[in-house]
Amino acid sequence: MDKMNETGGMPVKNKLAVCAALCAMFAMLFASQQVVESCRCALQLCLEMILPTLFPFFVISILLSRLGFPALLGRLIAPAAERLFGISGTGASALVIGLTGGYPLGAAYIADMERSGAVSAREAERLLAFCNNSGPAFIIGAIGVGVFGSASAGLLLYAMHACAAVGTGLLLRHRRVSASERPPSPAAPAPVPLSRALPDAVSQAVVSVLSVCGFVVCFSAFTGLLDANGFFSAAAGRLSLLLGTELHWTRALLCGLLELGSGAGAMRGLSLTPLNAALAAGLLSWGGISVHLQTLALLADSEIKGALHTAGRLVSALLAAALAYVFTKILF
């Protein structure tokens, strides 16, 4: 528990956050033009790339969930899930949700299962390490078509992303959850009729895609603030010299580490090379700090800890980058 101030009663973490927010606000007052321009570019990115590519896929993936597809698939793959990952069939359905719905729907699904008692907190933490992933909407649409101008490249990146997620689950296999630690799985939610599922899917897709755009704009403003002070450009330049890469590549790396949508925008103009594909794959599996913050927010009222999620994202990013580099060199 955070230490409390004897007079004010505010947790130490809250005090630090308030100080940081005040500093950011005053900094924006002196760099308002750069921040406004960054937000304008972020909104243009949302309108041109994120909204058109994400929204249709969000609708389809949520519709499949409402119609009962993940539960059906979870029952089918239950034996393999137990053998490969040491998790229940109910838990395995989270991998399906994560790889079809994308960030942060996988985390939301896992948190809901833990709260309902479908999985224990320990199993939920394991699931979170490899089941909260980017979906095909963003990978194929925004990265494959939007960045590299190739749906085939997007499909390859999606395949590498899925393989890295499975590989991360296999690496965590020794942390097997015993049957005694698993609560009895409740009955799966009944599939809803299409007449109700479609409006629900559209409504939730609107909320989800607006949330993604909101984080893109927020972190773009933060990047613009760092740019105005010369910090971001200096960091990108130093890292570029250190790694021996182009400044464009290094800037995309730093943007993507903070926020995936901004990283996608910064990658536009890069050609499809093994190194650029590795960058895209690594950032897709890392998710960006914004995804990590969204995930922690979703876990706030559960007993799930987020440390294994961060470790899983890092392992998955390294695996995905290596796979993308090798297979891009072979196939393109």
Tokens of residue 163, six digits: 């393989």
Provide the percentage of residues in the chain whose pLDDT is more than 90: 32
3-state secondary structure (DSSP) of residue 87: coil
Q: Which residue has the higher pLDDT, 153 or 4?
A: 153
Q: What is residue 273's predicted lDDT score, i.e. its pLDDT?
A: 95
Q: Which residue has the higher pLDDT, 28 or 267?
A: 267
Specify the range with the lowest mean pLDDT, choosing from 22-26, 147-151, 200-204, 291-295: 22-26
pTM above 0.85, yes or no: no
Mean pLDDT rounded to a whole number for the chain: 83
3-state secondary structure (DSSP) of residue 11: strand
Band of the pLDDT at 48, cuts 50, 70, 90? confident
236 pLDDT exceeds 80? yes
- Contact assessment for residue 205 and residue 62, using Cβ atoms and an 8 Å cutoff: yes
Closest CA to 326 of 278, 287, 289: 278
Beta-bridged to residue 4, according to DSSP, are 11
252 pLDDT exceeds 90? yes
Burial class (CB in 10 A: 0-12, 13-18, 19+), 184: exposed
